[in-house]
Structure 1
Amino acid sequence: MNSDDWLEIGTIVAAQGLDGELRVYPSSDFPERFLEPGTRWLQRSAEAEPEPVELLEGRMIPGKGIYAIVLEGVEDRDEAEALRGARLLVPDSDRPQLAEDEYHVVDLLGLEVYHQPSGDRLGTIANIIPAGNDLLEVQLDKPLIAASPEPEPPPTPEKRQKRSKPPKPQTTVLIPFVKEIVPIVDIPNRRVEVNPPPGLLEST
């Protein structure tokens, strides 16, 4: 299988406790991926072949947005820490049925983002950030440059004034992934269209 045959569902970020539990940061919105026992696949590094592993049990850690899971054969903290950074995968054929206006994260990454009112390309989707409403992190083609600050008065003999540093260009922007702001998601043509509210794409 090549990379297109797999769906990433999460990344192991740390050991949980002393008995081999693993903390997993999810890249899937389907809790059953981490709660229901069964076979998953583990990719220890970007170059490694995925290997099957049995998920024995899992639970959500309240308030953290992550899961704690138990994998067969991982029995202590050292073995758990050795898997830090490994990815959990499932076959691409194991996609859950989606409702209308639901999307797999992997299908959204890399889509071109266009400003619907002007037709201009803004950039590409670099990440999906879970929140009350998910946020699209867009890597901008042209960084936003903040307005220049008001000129500072010349320093006086009585007081040396600290000069502010020029603002750094903003290279990404977060766009709420809601229908009103992202009305068009065209997976086959690898593009989305956004209609952001005033100020969202303006530097401050």
Structure 2
Amino acid sequence: MPSLDTFMTIGRIVAAQGLRGEVRVYPESDFPERFLEPGPRWLLAPQQDTPTPIALLAGRTIPGKGLYVVKLAGIDNRDQAEQLRGYVLLVPVDDRLPLDEDEFHVLDLIGLTVFEQTTQVEIGTVTNVFSAGNDLLEVQRTSVTTMANANAPLLIPFVKAIVPVVDLVQRRIEITPPPGLLD
């Protein structure tokens, strides 16, 4: 049985599309080919820990919505498609696509330690990455401070001016925060 550790999420099925078994997928991947090119994928049901293989037969984008419509093998009508609402679409972790310089896979960023560049003070650990215009790093603070929101995670814009150093080998990120970012 495959372990969930060997997979990465590429999207979530949010609705049925039409009457012929297509589903709408909210992407959690920056690679459109994951939803447009036919091939093997895996489905994970809510509250389950064992994915099942399925073939992606075809896909297309919904312009202006940030969604994809995909046709999966064996899903031939709206009722079957509706049953997949909330399922997660996966690919094997070792099926990573090549990246350009200064691009990173989200999974590689999770767990990295964040430091303020000039002082080398540890800020916290990356716990998530959100897509929003520019990506945002969610960082859980390392130490509790006297600030009212000290336990609240920080959201750090993932742009070169603020995050000049990402060192995957050393498992660290260095930031140059603008005034107020860490308050």
SS at match of 1:94: coil
Residue type of the partner of 1:104?
H
Written as runs of structure 1 = structure 2, the 5 A alignment for 1:154-169 is none
Deviation of residue 131 (structure 1)?
Answer: 2.9
In structure 2, what residue type is equivalent to 1:15? A
How far apart are residue 108 of structure 1 and its match?
Answer: 1.3
Structure 1 residues 190 and 78: CA distance shift in structure 2, 3 A: farther
Distance 2:86 2:169 in 1: 31
**Conservation of the 8 A alpha-carbon contact between 1:143 and 1:172:** no
Conserved 8 A contact 1:24-1:68: yes
Q: Secondary structure at the match of 2:152?
A: strand
Partner of 2:177: 196
The answer as to whether partners of 2:26 and 2:67 remain within 8 angstroms in 1 is: yes
Counterpart in the other structure of 1:57: 58
Specify the code of the residue in structure 2 equivalent to 1:16: Q
Relative to the length of structure 2, the TM-score reads 0.85
Shift of 1:36: 0.8
- Size of the alignment, in residue pairs? 181
SS of corresponding position for 1:192: strand
- Written as runs of structure 1 = structure 2, the 5 A alignment for 1:67-82 is 67-82=68-83
Higher mean displacement: 101-110 or 78-87: 78-87
Q: What is the identity percentage for the equivalent residue pairs of Structure 1 and Structure 2?
A: 56
How many Å apart are 1:120 and its aligned residue? 2.2
Return the match for 1:145 from 144, 147, 155.
147
Shift of 1:55: 0.8
TM-score, normalization by structure 1:
0.78
Instruction: Please state how far the C-alpha of 1:170 moved relative to its aligned partner.
Output: 6.5
